[in-house]
Amino acid sequence: MPHRKLKEFDPVAFLATSGLGRRILHIKAKGTMFSQGGLADSVFYLQKGRAKLTVVSKAGKEATITLIAAGDFVGEEAATAIAGLHMSTATAITACSVLKIEREEMMRVIHDEHAFSDLFVAFLLERSMRTQADLVDQLFNSSERRLARILLLMADFGKPGEPETKIPKITQETLADMIGTTRSRVSFFMNRFRKMGFIEYNGRIHVHKSLLNVVLHDQRPGANSISAALLDTKRDKTKLAERASASAKRSEGGI
């Protein structure tokens, strides 16, 4: 008998359809995929929609740690050697289609299908780089630049193809949590971005490519480059000037 060639595994088809150990869930906006402290027995793949990951401290304070877009895995802690608990809560921002992959099936496909494991590892590396970039952004950039970066990421700037430009409805409280500032500051920056023509919003936020200037070059059109200078940047420059002056005085005193 002639040898029958096995059908080649297709990771795209695997993630698009239900099957043994996996099923597609349709989650309404504000619905939950999994909760912090729950058993991590499944990995989720977001097929369509937007979601967010939040954590709650022992004191009851909630913080948004990242946003999830179509093509992202979430709950990947279920794929560790020992099953544990979810460290965060995944909540739908918009209506979502999600593939829920049971832990046993996830472990099998990672070990048996190299095409899938390559895709999954590439995602994990990208997630790690994104986390590092978020940390650098939090440590060194002003609140305004952090907000601009979050809006651009939500609009898929930097990804292959044309950006969506219109981002899902998201509250100013959530944006404030993500960039580590107050809602009033976010409101102030959003109004300034709108006056400068970087964004439009009427229910949903429409992001223009010109917002990249804030992140990449810290440029603003015309007189705004002076009149709308960042308060954070002013404070930083003042501190640098004071340090330089103090250093000069010490040097003179040592001569």
Lowest-confidence region among 68-72, 78-82, 122-126: 78-82
pLDDT band of residue 156 (cuts 50, 70, 90) is confident
Do residues 148 and 180 share a domain? yes
Band (233; pLDDT cuts 50, 70, 90) = very low
> Do 210 and 154 reside in the same domain of the chain?
yes
Confidence at residue 63, expressed as pLDDT on a 0 to 100 scale? 84
The answer to whether residue 248 sits within a structural domain is no
Q: Could you give the C-alpha distances from 35 to 27, 38, 74, 167, in angstroms and in order?
A: 14, 6, 12, 25
| Residues whose CB falls within 8 Å of the CB of residue 95, separated by 6 or more in sequence, listed in order | 26, 27, 28, 29, 49
Same domain, 33 and 94: yes
Whether 159 shows a pLDDT value over 70: the answer reads: no
Handedness of CA 118, 124, 126, 129 (dihedral sign): negative
Quote the longest CA-to-CA distance of the chain: 96
* Residues 120-153: tens digit of each pLDDT: 999 999 989 988 888 888 788 889 988 998 888 8
pLDDT value of residue 224: 38
Pairing of strands 204-207, 199-202: antiparallel
* Structural domains of the chain, count: 2
Co-location of 17 and 117 in the same domain: yes
Q: So what's the pLDDT on residue 77?
A: 92
Q: Is the pLDDT of residue 230 over 70?
A: no
- Give the position of tokens 């097929």: 47
**For the ranges 80-94, 200-214, 235-249, which has the lowest average pLDDT?**
235-249
Q: Tell me, yes or no, whether 57 and 41 share the same domain.
A: yes
Q: Which of 141, 217, 152 is nearest to 179 (CA)?
A: 141
Q: Amino acid letter at 118? A: D
Q: Please check whether residues 162 and 72 belong to one and the same domain.
A: no
Instruction: Please give the pLDDT value at position 229.
Output: 35
Residues 65 and 115 in one domain: yes
Q: Taking the model in full, what pTM does it have?
A: 0.71
Q: Are residues 47 and 88 in the same domain?
A: yes
- Which of the four pLDDT bands, split at 50, 70 and 90, describes residue 158? low
User: 148 is in which domain, residue-wise?
Assistant: 143-216
Mean pLDDT of 49-69: 89
Residues 15, 91 within the same domain: yes
Where is pLDDT greater, at 8 or 220?
Answer: 8
CATH of the domain at 134: 2.60.120.10
For residue 93, which of 37, 140, 157, 33 has the smallest C-alpha distance?
33
* Res. 201 pLDDT band, cuts 50 70 90: confident
The answer on 176 and 206 residing in a single domain is yes
